[in-house]
Amino acid sequence: MPHDRPDILFIMTDQQRFDTIAALGNSHIYTPNMDRLVRRGISFSNAYATCPVCVAARYTIRTGCEPATTRVFTNARANAVADQAVEMEKRCGPYLGRTMSRLGYRTFGVGKFHTNPWNEDLGFETLWRCEETYHPPNREGDDYGSWLAREHPEFDFLEQPMGERSEMFYLPQRSPLPANLGGEWWTADRTIEEIAKSNDSRPFFGFVSFIGPHPPLAPPIPFNRMYNPDRLPEPVLGKIEEDELDEEIPFMRHAIWAEAINPALAKIVKARYYGEVTYLDYCLGRILDAVEARPNPENVLICFFADHGDLLGDHHGWQKQNFFEAACRVPLLLSWPGVLPAGTDQTQLISLADLFAIATGAAGECHAREGIDVLKMLRGELAARQHLVGMVEVPGSQDFKIMVLTEEWKYIFMANGGREQLFNRKNDPNELSNRVGSSTAMRDDLYALAVKACRVPGATDALEGQNLRAFPFRQRPPVRIYQFDRSRGVLGFPDKPQDSLKTFDRVTLRSLE
């Protein structure tokens, strides 16, 4: 295969909202390198995570298949159904990294991959992991964690170098590490090394996955103090009874301790979130500089995107796992200067499943799977999709939700109580006016599309006859999410405060006295 095929670099951020890029309209944030990518190519303003949860979104990306096929609707895998192969790659086809290797590319992955199991083979020839949490024996298996312990043992005492989690998840923090030792910086370093390799005649396919701006929100100095909270906008709030039609919102607000966040603190949290975005933007700039230093940078395809967003206080909620815009709509920037126009905007409905076809299509052998061939669409050889369907939670379960999206409308059905939302995307971009009772014809049309979308292997349990299955509404008992450094045997808060000292290093304690 000739080497005039492009080098391809996929760059993913974690939990980055669609509205966090200065060049796309956010006047409050500083993102000069994302702005560079906007100028370099195409911005897709209607790109969506069809299952806006970390693990689920990543399996959509690496398989090119939607959740009904991957059977990943949350951060856990569901079992395959009777008509499906048990193994993921037998059901969906080889993962993206493995597919690109078979197409003649030198493949590497760097950063967070959030696989299940944690050390799953993703098919990359070279893989550098920088995961956000440590689970036994993940500290040794995590390349960044082991690098930090080996090269900078003065920081090895840190249990959570990315910031404290659990009750601190959405409380503003500062990184315990200097900027040049953080996971984002390390990820950029490894990526630059891989881009610079010249001992291989093959083009490269790189998949770079940053851990930010996923909470905890702990940007390093000086990114922790870049944004004055008083200058940032208030969260977008609807009527609380409408915002909480999705029971996930109050449930998750309690689970991650966010009921402690008042309006003033919400703006402080947003300031730290923006600081995280700007930190990773700075690291992104170092990668873009490495691309520009190559002999033929105009033949490097770069695709920048996020796995999902974050409510960040909008609609009285935090986290994702719902179908409000802030959670499921993502930034998606695509540039290939030798082929695609620069500085343009596209409004077609795009799914994360489409990324598979972008990579393989640019490589010369498009595998669209359950996505569409975006490059072919951009050439005017393929019609844009008319609607997009998203699913969260296992079909047939009480917490199942389905979204149908068109250019003008968004319909959401929640099995828990059979609750529904309908928003006019053009007239009500903040999703404050539920039109399900006043636009019944549109509701019926989109409901029919939702039913049709469930008539595929992996989703039929969401149906009851000709209708979507609904359950009497129930509110889940409140629980807390505890995330500690399990690699050090820390599983949660102790029953008695003094129990924390049982594993404390007495030698370290004496050295401090």
In the chain, % of residues over pLDDT 90: 90
CA distance 343 to 346: 10
Taking phi over 0 as left and psi of -120 to 50 as alpha, with beta for the rest, 31 belongs to: beta
Task: Give tens-digit pLDDT for 490-509.
Answer: 889 999 998 888 767 554 55
Give residue-wise pLDDT tens across range 370-409. 999 999 999 999 999 999 999 999 999 999 999 999 999 9
Local confidence band at 83 (pLDDT 50, 70, 90 cut-offs): confident
Q: What is the pLDDT of residues 293-350, one digit of tens each?
A: 999 999 999 999 999 999 999 999 999 999 999 999 999 999 999 999 999 999 999 9
Rounded average pLDDT over 69-97: 95
**Distance separating the N- and C-terminal Cα atoms of the chain:** 66
User: Checking DSSP bridges between strand 401-405 and strand 409-414, what pairing results, if any?
Assistant: antiparallel
Mean pLDDT for 57-73 is: 97
Q: Residue 13, Cα to own-chain centre: how many angstroms? A: 6
Confidence of residue 199 (pLDDT cuts 50, 70, 90): confident
In this structure, the strands spanning 329-330 and 42-44 are unpaired
Q: Which amino acid is at 417?
A: G
Average pLDDT, the chain: 95
Average pLDDT over residues 96-106: 98
Q: Specify the pLDDT at position 415.
A: 98
The arithmetic mean of pLDDT across residues 140-144, rounded, is 88
pLDDT tops 60 at residue 510: no
The predicted pLDDT at position 118 comes to 83
* Residue 299 tokens, joined: 């033949």
**How would DSSP label each residue in 146-201?**
HHHHHH-GGGTT-S-TT---GGGTTS----SS-GGGSHHHHHHHHHHHHHH--S--
Q: What percent of the chain has pLDDT over 70?
A: 97
Helices 183-196, 263-292: inter-axial angle, 10-degree rounding: 20
Residue 132 has pLDDT above 70, yes or no: yes
pLDDT of residue 489: 83
Over residues 436-450, the pLDDT tens digits come to: 999 999 999 999 999
The size of the chain, in residues, is 513
Query: What single DSSP character describes residue 297?
Result: G
Structural domains of the chain, ranges and CATH numbers in brackets = 7-385+476-512 (3.40.720.10)
Residue 318 near residue 255, CB atoms below 8 Å: no
Q: What gap in Å lies between CA 136 and CA 31, rounded to an integer?
A: 36
pLDDT value at residue 2: 37
Q: Please give the average per-residue pLDDT across 451-480, as a whole number.
A: 97
For the cut 60, the answer to whether the pLDDT of residue 207 exceeds it is yes
Confidence of residue 1 (pLDDT cuts 50, 70, 90): very low
Range name among 153-157, 209-213, 392-396, 458-462 with the lowest pLDDT average: 153-157
Mean local confidence (pLDDT), 206-225: 98
From 72, 133, 63, select the one nearest 92 (Cα to Cα).
Answer: 63
Segment 23-63, tens digit of pLDDT: 999 999 999 999 999 999 999 999 999 999 999 999 999 99
Q: What is the pLDDT of residue 495?
A: 92
What average pLDDT does range 108-119 have in this prediction?
A: 91
pLDDT at 86: 94
Query: What span, in angstroms and rounded, lies between the C-alpha atoms of 431 and 165?
Result: 30
Provide the pLDDT for residue 138: 64
More confident residue, 25 or 489: 25
What 3-state class would DSSP assign to 206? strand
Angular region, 413: left φ>0, alpha ψ -120 to 50, beta rest: beta
